[in-house]
Amino acid sequence: MPATLTSVDAEGFGRELDRIRDEVIESLGERDARYIRGLIAIQRKLELGGRALLIASWFPPAWITGTAALATAKILENMEIGHNVLHGQWDWMRDPKIHSTTWEWDTASPADQWKHSHNFVHHTWTNVLGKDRDVGYSVLRISPEQRWHPIYLAQPFYNALLALFFEYGIAIYDLELERIPSGRKDPKEALAQLRAVATKIRRQVVKDYVAFPLLAGPAFLPVLLGNLTANLARNVWAHTIIFCGHLPEGAEVFTEDRLEGETRGEWYVRQLLGSCNIDGGGLFHIMSGNLSHQIEHHLFPDLPSNRYAEIAPRIRALCERFGLPYTSGSLARQAASVWKRVLRMALPGPRQRPPATAPPVKTLGAVA
């Protein structure tokens, strides 16, 4: 149990993880390159196929398969491809077409803004209240440590809304508007970023809601609806998977004092305790962008995602050996757990969180 985990153990745990990391990096090669190139080709063909089918969408089966293909392509593009390329997972190939510094993706956030808020802020300060802005995305109350306000009564409603319009939520969130009043963010910078977001949104809207529908001529409306459905499905899916990464029962939230003098080993432990996996098969892992291996992803954000499933059993065994919890559950269970938390935290309290499966760990500064 973590209660017995001394900081020496954390260092031992960290050394083991570093070894796994080095091993994976050493063995990267042809097979991995073929994986990502193959996936990108499949995704693009799926998108082309979906859009082609939608042109014939006066025929209902074509609408259904076309929309499904397009939604799948959009999910792959955002999750297993975009998110992971932007993490620099494929930079080692030195292919300028698949590189974190050149990639742009089909979402409202421009890649460079998202890389700052996600790769740097969220992945460095994972689940630290007041530091990791992803804790509740600055609009949700997800921990009893956050002071309650009547506005939170509406959070189940606006969380559902957030799910539908997730990509726009993320884009606005990346602007860090809440930091402007305190002077921690230059309003001019925010304005410039807002313009970049607007440019991206304009291109997306023209493409999905004007250009392709117009190309379909008489099928204008079904194509528009198909594209809208694909975008909404992608948003809801991404929201669900991402919220299951850090919010289900078992994921811990930390206070800022946890960061003081934090060693590499302790950083690993915090990443582990703050993340939850989702169980599923190979296809599910790909569709989730391997965020179903949230733990492995947070331990090694820049290792290629196709390797997470391979190292997961070793990480799990390592956790067992060091007496650390490794949280994992089915999608249904984790999603229900997230919603339970969102609903519970909409109301004031509780003073103390109900006793977690793992007892509070003072030395780790976890607010269990």
Partner 1 sequence: MIPKRATPSAARPGPAILRRLAAAARWLASPLLPEDYLGLINPLWTAGDLCGRVEEVIPETADAATLVIRPGRGWVVHRPGQWVPIGVDIRGRRHWRTFSLSSAPGRPDGRVTITVKAMREGLVSNHLVRRTEPGTVIRLGRPEGAFVLPESPPPRLLFVTAGSGVTPVMAMLDGMLGGAPAVEGPDVVLVHSAPTPDEVIFGRRLRSLAARCPRLRLYERHTRAEGRLRPADLARLCPDWTARAVWACGPPAMLDEIAAHWTGPTDRLRVERFRLVPTVVGSGGRVCFTRSGREADADGGTSLLAVGEGAGVLMPSGCRMGICYSCVARLRSGRVRDMRTGQVHGEAGDMIQTCVSAAAGPIEIEL
The reply to whether 30 sits near partner 1 by the rule CB under 8 A is yes
* Minimal distance, residue 215 CB to partner 1, in Å: 8
Which residue in the block uniquely carries the two structure tokens 């992971």?
A: 84
The reply to whether 203 sits near partner 1 by the rule CB under 8 A is yes
Among 133, 200, 234, 341, binds partner 1 (CB under 8 A): 200
With respect to partner 1, which residue has the nearer C-beta, 88 or 144? 88
The reply to whether 32 sits near partner 1 by the rule CB under 8 A is yes
Element (H, E) at 43: helix 30-55
Name every residue whose Cβ is closer than 8 Å to that of residue 51 and which is 6 or more positions away in sequence: 66, 70, 212
- Contact characters 160-199, partner 1, x per CB under 8 A: ----------------------------------------
Q: Report d(CA 240, CA 159) in Å as an integer.
A: 11
The reply to whether 261 sits near partner 1 by the rule CB under 8 A is no
- Are the C-beta atoms of residues 232 and 164 closer than 8 Å to each other? yes
Name every residue whose Cβ is closer than 8 Å to that of residue 28 and which is 6 or more positions away in sequence: 92, 304
* Minimal distance, residue 43 CB to partner 1, in Å: 10
48-54 — which CB contacts under 8 Å span 24+ positions?
A: 50/230, 51/212, 54/212, 54/216, 54/219, 54/222, 54/223, 54/226, 54/227
Interaction with partner 1 in 208-227: which residues (CB under 8 A)? Answer: 211-212, 215
- Token reading at 243: 């919220």
Interaction with partner 1 in 89-108: which residues (CB under 8 A)? Answer: 91-97, 99-102, 104-106
With respect to partner 1, which residue has the nearer C-beta, 72 or 277? 72
Which residue in the block uniquely carries the two structure tokens 């956790």?
A: 319
With respect to partner 1, which residue has the nearer C-beta, 92 or 322? 92
With respect to partner 1, which residue has the nearer C-beta, 33 or 139? 33
- Token reading at 217: 């001529």
Among 124, 146, 204, 255, binds partner 1 (CB under 8 A): 204
* Minimal distance, residue 301 CB to partner 1, in Å: 13
The site that binds partner 1 (CB under 8 A) totals a number of residues, namely: 34
* Minimal distance, residue 118 CB to partner 1, in Å: 13
Q: Report d(CA 179, CA 1) in Å as an integer.
A: 39
Looking at residue 348, its amino acid is P
317-338 as b/e: b if 16+ CB within 10 A: ebbeebebbbbbbebeebbebb
With respect to partner 1, which residue has the nearer C-beta, 88 or 156? 88
The reply to whether 28 sits near partner 1 by the rule CB under 8 A is yes
* Minimal distance, residue 245 CB to partner 1, in Å: 23
Among 44, 185, 314, 344, binds partner 1 (CB under 8 A): 44
With respect to partner 1, which residue has the nearer C-beta, 155 or 227? 227
Helices first, then strands: H and E counts in the chain: 16, 2
How much of the chain is helix, strand and coil, in % rounded to 5?
70, 0, 30
Residues of this chain that interact with partner 1 (CB under 8 A) are 28-34, 41, 44-45, 48, 88, 91-97, 99-102, 104-106, 200, 203-204, 206-207, 211-212, 215
